[in-house]
Amino acid sequence: MSDFYQTGVISTFHKLGVLNLDKLEAELIWHSQDRPIALVLPSLFSEIEGEALNLIIKELKEVRYIAEVVVTLGPCSREEFQQARDFFSVLPQKTTLIWNNGEKVSDVYRDIEEARLPLGE
């Protein structure tokens, strides 16, 4: 499977040569039976009203090999976070939203900084 690269538990797909989508999806369905596949989807609240994210959601509704979708939601208010939860609730996969500037994640960032561990950029 030349379009596939994995180090540890994170895999990356590269477009190397001619893509046979049917074959690739069949392989993903087969592999997902033993090793469930999750998609990490970074998103901004502003993208919810855009065409691109709506098309992504439409496609994800049809994908059989993804067991879980983890959405990392950029800065937004509590009300916007709730709207995002409603927006992503249409997905058939188990869906988890991470509110990047929410109280719980902010507490984790604070603990990391207090431990003087580098957060990166």
Residue 112 pairs with which residues in a beta bridge?
Answer: none
Cα-Cα end-to-end distance for the chain: 33
Q: Which amino acid is at 74?
A: G
In tens, the pLDDT along 62-109 reads 999 999 999 999 999 999 999 999 999 999 999 999 999 988 988 998
Per-domain boundaries in the chain = 1-35, 37-121
In tens, the pLDDT along 53-62 reads 999 999 999 9
pTM above 0.85, yes or no: no
Tokens 């990166």 sit at which residue? 120
Q: DSSP for 47-99, please give it.
A: GGGSHHHHHHHHHHTT-SSEEEEEEEE-S--HHHHHHHHHHHTT-SSEEEEEE
